[in-house]
Amino acid sequence: CEDGKSEKIQQLLNKQECNFNAIYHALSKIDIIRTSEKWELEDNFYILKSKWESIDKLHWEIDFQLKGSNDHYYRMYSDIEEKYDELRKQLQSKIWSNAHYQQSTPRMELPDFYGNYSKWISFKDLFLETIHNNPTINKAQKMKHLKTKLKGEAESLVQHLSVCAENYNSCWDILVHRYDNRRLQFSSFFNTMMSLPVIHQPDANNLKKMHDVIKECMNGIANIGLDTATWDPMIVHLMLPKLDSTTLNDYMNDIRDHRELQNLQDFLYFLECKFMAYETAKSTKSVKNTTSEKTSHWKPANNKQPVKKFTYDSKKTYNYHATYGKCPNCNGNHVLMQCAKFINMDTAQRNHTVAKLKLCKNCLYSHNNEECKSAKTCKECNMKHHTMLHNVNWKIPANGKNNFGQQASSSQQQASNHLSSDKTEILLTTTLLKIKAYDGTY
């Protein structure tokens, strides 16, 4: 009976020894440091767990037979149990960390990359952060993400590489070698700034585009390691000719000290204020138009609307009454001093146009025969007319007063301009004027 019992115990020990060898082999194959893929960690954990369950199940039967009499077996069992528990905890901890990383990391949509050198830096940084350095994504998935975001020239550069884990490092190295080119990156940023179009008509979109492109390109140049601290006067000097005359004039008036070098941040702040002002004006005008449409149904039938008409006939007179908000010269959504057609005229044509439209020579508006309340004067001669109407051939009186300008401005507000024309002949009338001089004589 004892021999039969001993034989059974030996069979159990031999079977357990095979289990010990199997779990030792599994423990030696697991590299907890280098294993980063979630699926691989989980696979190792379940293999190890199943082998330990076989050992633990057989152990209770052996322990019942031995009753603690075989020290060698119990030492082996304790050693394997300790190693198993240690590796199991490490695997569970790393699996939990990976799962927590995936849940806590916000989903970011990568932009497409077409091979533009100036866009490479931002694309590379985003890809490194979200895909390349992500321990939960295997190389095959990284290759798939990378190739789906490449377009145009960049896509053609690596089109010979298939989507598989073995090609990922080669694909990334090819892109880095091509586009990590500081010289071409600088050229791309600088050329983008210099290719900004000249602004002919100031509005929010044009000024905002200039502001954003300058800021983006200067930040990009700084990001490739160039010191741009002393570039401000040069960049401002290159950008000023791209402004329209009205905005340029406003900027020159905005400069505090005309003897000091211009600061790029001040220039960008000026552009920002200008396009924000245009946006505010546009929004306010839109609200007013909407309100006007809603309340128009209860207005009295005899409510007179502002006169705004222009009639042309070869044998009739011309009548035009200007109102605020519309250009009297081209009927555009701007004032006369911002009109491109008016700006492109010479001084004589501008004076003729102002007289024809019955506008004030000082403020270039029509204020219904009332005296001009604007305190501004010509910036060239300090006389009472608009700077855009200044004639370099005019002579300035010794006392510095320009009564002619004042009289002309006033008369333009009150007189009705009548031009008579005929297709075959022109009849010019002679008018006798009584003019009061600056000393009070006529």
Exposure pattern of 228-264 as b/e (b: 16+ CB <10 Å)? eeeebeebbeebeebbbbbbeeebeeeeeeeeeebeb
Under 8 Å between Cβ of 331 and 337? no
- Determine the average pLDDT of the residues in 235-244: 94
pTM of the shown model: 0.42
Q: Which residue has the tokens 């600061």?
A: 263
Q: Is 253 a residue whose pLDDT tops 80?
A: yes
Please report which confidence band the pLDDT of residue 26 belongs to, taking 50, 70 and 90 as the band edges.
confident
Contact 128/227 with Cβ under 8 angstroms? no
The C-alpha atoms of residue 402 and residue 8 are separated, in whole angstroms, by 129
Tens digit of each residue's pLDDT (9 = 90 or more) over 275-329: 998 888 887 766 666 655 555 554 444 444 444 444 444 444 434 444 445 788 8
**Rounded to an integer, what distance in angstroms lies between the CA atom of residue 379 and that of residue 388?**
9
Amino acid at 162: S
Tell me the pLDDT band of 192, cut-offs 50, 70 and 90.
very high
In this structure, which long-range contacts are made by residues 324-327, counting pairs with CB atoms below 8 Å and at least 24 apart in sequence?
A: 324/365, 325/285
Phi, psi of 391 (to 5 degrees): -110, 125
**Structure confidence at residue 427 (pLDDT):** 53
> How far apart, in Å, are the Cα atoms of 379 and each of 115, 367, 412?
50, 22, 21
> Has residue 393 got a pLDDT over 60?
yes
- 320 - beta bridge partners? 310
Q: What is the mean pLDDT of residues 18-38?
A: 81
pLDDT tens across 92-148, in order? 887 777 665 554 445 667 889 999 888 898 899 899 888 888 877 788 888 988 999
- Between 15 and 101, where is the model more confident? 15
Higher pLDDT, 358 or 242: 242
Q: Where are the alpha helices (DSSP H) in 224-338?
A: 232-239, 245-254, 264-295
Percent of residues, the chain, with pLDDT higher than 90:
23
Q: What is the pLDDT of residue 407?
A: 42
Least confident of 111-120, 221-230, 426-435: 426-435
Q: What span, in angstroms and rounded, lies between the C-alpha atoms of 339 and 343? A: 6
Q: Is the pLDDT of residue 2 over 50?
A: yes
The whole-number pLDDT of residue 415 equals: 38
- Kindly report the number of other CB atoms within 10 A of residue 99's CB atom: 13
Model confidence pLDDT, tens digit, residues 46-65: 888 888 988 888 888 888 88
Backbone CA torsion sign across 76, 82, 87, 92: positive
What is the model's pLDDT at position 190?
93
pLDDT band at 221; cut points 50, 70, 90:
very high
DSSP string, 103-139: HHSPP-PPPPB-S-HHHHHHHHHHHIIIIIT-TTS-H
**Is the predicted pLDDT of residue 156 greater than 90, yes or no?**
yes
Report pLDDT for 12.
Answer: 86
CA distances (Å), origin 16, targets 29, 67, 81, 82, 406? 20, 16, 13, 17, 116
* Res 292: pLDDT: 58
Q: Which of 154-158, 209-213, 395-399, 406-410 has the lowest mean pLDDT?
A: 406-410
Of residues 151 and 36, the one with the higher pLDDT is 151
pLDDT at 431: 66
The most confident of 167-181, 322-336, 376-390, 401-415, by mean pLDDT: 167-181
290/71: higher pLDDT: 71
User: What angle separates helix 38-66 from helix 2-29, to the nearest 10 degrees?
Assistant: 160
pLDDT per residue over 314-339, tens digit each?
Answer: 444 434 444 445 788 888 888 888 88
The pLDDT score that the predictor gives to residue 321 is 41
Residue 120: CB atoms within 10 A of its CB come to 22
Gap between the Cα atoms of 393 and 259, Å rounded = 29
